[in-house]
Structure 1
Amino acid sequence: MRYGLDDKPKLSDMIIFGLQWLAVTIPFILIMGKVVGVMDGDYISYIQKLFLVLGFLILLQIFRGHKLPLIMGPAAVILVAILTSSHQGMGAINSSVLIGGLVLAILAASGLFNYLKKLFTPRVIIVILMLISFTLLPTIISLISVSGPVTAIDNFLFSLGFVVVLLAAHALLKGIWKSTLTLSALFIGTLVYYLIFGFTGFTDMNLARVGLPHSLTGSLAVPDVGVLAAFLVSFFALAVNDLASIESVGTILNADEMEKRVKNGITITGLGNVFSGIMGVMGSVNYSISPGLIAATGVASRYTFIPAAIGLIILSLSPMAIGIMSSIPSPVIGVIFLYILTAQIGASLLLVVEKDGIKTVDHGMIIGLPLILGTAIAFLPSEVASQLPAILRPVLGNGFVMGTLFVLFLEHLLYSKGTISRKNNYKKE
């Protein structure tokens, strides 16, 4: 390593490597933030607040949280919960993010989270990671086949070609170029799209060069039981993601006091989601993509995240900059989203091999049924979902939540070791 975990690089190196972390972070914020920001009605202000929250959270994590070189960004699992609860309004969604973050922070800070960790078996984690990808497919389909100034079929054909190019770049590029592929794909894909179809993006030149979001707080409303239950299950999955990210980077860097780092890191993540709920933006989580960039650059210093965090805060104060960055065509966002989620499925399959997650047909059932059920529910026609009882709709109509509940039921109850051993004893008798 050129710089270790607690090394302080010289200022020029710190800025250069900080900009690299910033370059990796921005695409995730723009891609997921724009999806929800459009729902919110003022996506420029929404993404401003998202940049602002994440800038401060990164600083908190490197100085008071896990103190590791970890990227933070919007949580895909919370995006799923927001999309399936959109009919309840942003007030109920913001309150649910706030409550979910508070519960997570209390569990982590009190040490109770250690007891819940027993539920996170390899098969449960595999299903959760895959469900995030599969249950976001309807959103991806709507992004790559959107109809407007450009026809749906043209957008779809462009997306197919862009997917092939993106996967080829992933296979051929190495080092820092591969680590920052999402950023370059974002800009190159946007440029090519507008060269082919003409410019249809950012046109509001009246946005202020410098200015705060229109409102620093979001609306809050009492969520119904179903919405809150769906978000709490989603925060359960967010905790799995956060735990895995902190553990993976800590292990690679041989960091000391990992139990303390996990406790503090997840506590800060929970408090960050409370802050996100108050400000009216989606929840955030630590990402597990940092090891690739650390390996490529040989820089593991947590202090290089200071320029990245400051950069996010500065960008959050410019509606004009956010507006320009947000003029990315929907098909480009959809394809990059597809690429990111495909990589997540790859990581899930690798986990199956590393943890020897499937040894019997029963193990395959534990993984397969929740995935099929969750995906089927995600594609339920709206007229069917609307007929579900209103209080249960956010749970029964949420493919991710139902898939997660089923894998827990299968893993820890129906196909638990105790159940299987009793079944075998009964057959012997």
Structure 2
Amino acid sequence: MAYNPEQPVFETEVKSSIKLLYGVEDRPKTWWETLFYAWQVTLVDFTPFIWAGAFVSLAGLPDTVIPTMISACFLAMGIGTIIQTTIGNRLPIVQGPSSSVLTAMGGVTAIYGFPAMWGAVLVGGLLEMIIGASRILGKIRNFIPPVVTGSVVTAIGFVAAKISITWIFSSTKPLHLLLALIAFLLALILKYKGKGVWSQGFILISVVAVGVVLSTILGQYDWAKVAAAPWFAFPRLFPFKGFDGTSNAFVLIPIAIIGGFTGYIGSMFESLGDYAATCAVSGETYRVKHINKGIAAEGLGCIASGFLGALPVTSYTQNIGIIAATGIASRFITQVAAVMFLFYGLSPKLAMALACIPRSVVGGVFAISASLIMFSGLEVIFSETQSFENNLIAGTTIGAAVMVPFFASTTGAKWVSTMSSFPKMYMNNNVFIAVTVGIVMNLLVNYVLKPKDGQPLKE
């Protein structure tokens, strides 16, 4: 069969109840509105400082490398997002540091050093780009019907909720928890009682009003750090040195490359789910081209990240939440946000100004977006005729995606810690589990175990 990039991934069209203010191809009529919504995107997708800190801890590196890595990650976010929205799948997707890849790369760096990590980042990005260009992933569409994708999107909603809760309780100070509650209530009021820009911009308004203004009044916003940061700083290629303090290039070590690529595998499966979720909340038909071009562009963005000294990038779940909550799916706004990320990377002062916003405030606002993602996934599931088979696939997939990582981080943590890097990463990755379990359950229920007479399975 000839390759058709416009071929829908699903045989039946998946519809969402989300009312869009701007579709993927739309642009706001005024520049101030564009800048307003783009800035809102950057506030919620502003997580490089979190992942940079996590990576440094995993790799056993000194905290002095964090500021440089944060700036590099912002540059990579801008470049990766521009690549994805122009020559990639052209969906309103923000690219940012991948938790799956950074986990794998942290172990590589701890053992082999920075040069080996950059080698693994560059080769991994190249392999991902080749996989996307080869159209291999696009051929698996028959194994991911709406019930599977809806389950994945629902799992992404749980991940978004976990991100929200993590941010809310990033500081257990009573005052920070109060700020989170105030931000949540203000966002809720603006979303459902506000009109026009007050409703569509509820995320930005709430974060600035509570995270900057009120936090400053209560002494919770560190203006001293903002003042101390420089306005401008030029980026450097391969800014980090090896363990010997001299080498700042990259080296290719096969074991390091293999170890790092396990993270890329998880990232690609996450992206398949994110692309489906983005299409669902943006009113777009999920097509084969979105998979192939998206993964190829993501790989190219990871290569750029490696040269800049940033963590590899992947599609960001947070941005799906913004679209679901605001109804703003404009690719143009996402591209303007990408330019803002570039400015953050070039201006440590701007980056520090956002980093000083209490995470609890952003978490309180993002809780609304997370709930909307979750329900969007359920809508996709119910877009197909309910049956015992579909209920079994969805229930098993969502249950595994939510509870296996919970087990891996609680009662099973000691056992999981004895595993090698790939199974350890898999056991803690909600979206990777959702994609693989969903595909396997669909194969078992609808192909392997399906009665020869075509009758449904017995309940």
Shorter-chain TM-score: what band?
0.7 to 0.9
Alpha-carbon distance in structure 1 between the residues aligned to 2:215 and 2:22:
41
Partner residue, 2:245: none
Partner residue, 1:45: 68
1:398 aligns with 2:428: yes
Partner residue, 1:323: 352
Alpha-carbon shift at residue 235 of structure 1 (Å): 1.3
The letter of the residue matching 1:280 is: A
Q: Secondary structure at the match of 1:50?
A: helix
Partner residue, 1:79: 99
1:203 paired residue among 214, 224, 231 = 224
Partner residue, 1:236: 269
Is this contact kept in 2: 1:193–1:329, CA < 8 A?
Answer: no
Partner residue, 1:344: 373
Is this contact kept in 1: 2:104–2:260, CA < 8 A?
Answer: no
1:65 paired residue among 71, 85, 88 = 88
Consecutive unaligned residues of structure 2, counting only runs of 5 or more, are: 1-19, 57-62, 242-249
Partner residue, 2:38: 22
Alpha-carbon distance in structure 2 between the residues aligned to 1:239 and 1:350:
18
Alpha-carbon distance in structure 2 between the residues aligned to 1:380 and 1:200:
33
Deviations 1:295-334 (A, max 9, x none): 77xx96x666665444432332111111112101121133
Alpha-carbon shift at residue 161 of structure 1 (Å): 4.6
Q: Secondary structure at the match of 1:16?
A: helix
Question: Over the residues paired in the alignment, what is the CA RMSD in angstroms?
Answer: 4.4
1:120 aligns with 2:144: yes
Partner residue, 2:48: 33
Q: Secondary structure at the match of 1:284?
A: strand
Partner residue, 2:315: 285
Partner residue, 2:278: 245
The letter of the residue matching 2:188 is: L
Q: Assess, with a 3 A threshold, how the Cα gap between structure 1 residues 128 and 100 changes in structure 2: closer, same or farther.
A: farther
Alpha-carbon distance in structure 1 between the residues aligned to 2:187 and 2:237:
37
Consecutive unaligned residues of structure 1, counting only runs of 5 or more, are: none
Q: Assess, with a 3 A threshold, how the Cα gap between structure 1 residues 319 and 419 changes in structure 2: closer, same or farther.
A: same
Alpha-carbon distance in structure 1 between the residues aligned to 2:107 and 2:85:
37
Partner residue, 1:409: 440
Alpha-carbon shift at residue 345 of structure 1 (Å): 0.8
Alpha-carbon distance in structure 1 between the residues aligned to 2:374 and 2:325:
20
Is this contact kept in 1: 2:146–2:380, CA < 8 A?
Answer: yes
The letter of the residue matching 2:354 is: M
In the TM superposition, what are the counterparts of 1:172-191 in structure 2 within 5 Å? 172-191=193-212
Alpha-carbon shift at residue 178 of structure 1 (Å): 3.1
Q: TM-score, normalised by structure 2?
A: 0.71
Alpha-carbon distance in structure 1 between the residues aligned to 2:443 and 2:393:
12
Alpha-carbon distance in structure 1 between the residues aligned to 2:71 and 2:384:
40
Is this contact kept in 2: 1:159–1:335, CA < 8 A?
Answer: yes
Alpha-carbon shift at residue 6 of structure 1 (Å): 7.9
The letter of the residue matching 2:77 is: L
Is this contact kept in 2: 1:226–1:394, CA < 8 A?
Answer: no
Q: Assess, with a 3 A threshold, how the Cα gap between structure 1 residues 157 and 186 changes in structure 2: closer, same or farther.
A: closer
Q: Secondary structure at the match of 1:212?
A: coil
Alpha-carbon distance in structure 2 between the residues aligned to 1:118 and 1:386:
33
Alpha-carbon distance in structure 1 between the residues aligned to 2:123 and 2:270:
15
Is this contact kept in 1: 2:183–2:210, CA < 8 A?
Answer: yes
Alpha-carbon distance in structure 2 between the residues aligned to 1:365 and 1:63:
37
Q: Assess, with a 3 A threshold, how the Cα gap between structure 1 residues 234 and 312 changes in structure 2: closer, same or farther.
A: closer
Alpha-carbon distance in structure 1 between the residues aligned to 2:163 and 2:282:
30
Q: Assess, with a 3 A threshold, how the Cα gap between structure 1 residues 225 and 336 changes in structure 2: closer, same or farther.
A: farther
Is this contact kept in 1: 2:93–2:278, CA < 8 A?
Answer: no
Q: TM-score, normalised by structure 1?
A: 0.75
Q: Assess, with a 3 A threshold, how the Cα gap between structure 1 residues 262 and 230 changes in structure 2: closer, same or farther.
A: closer
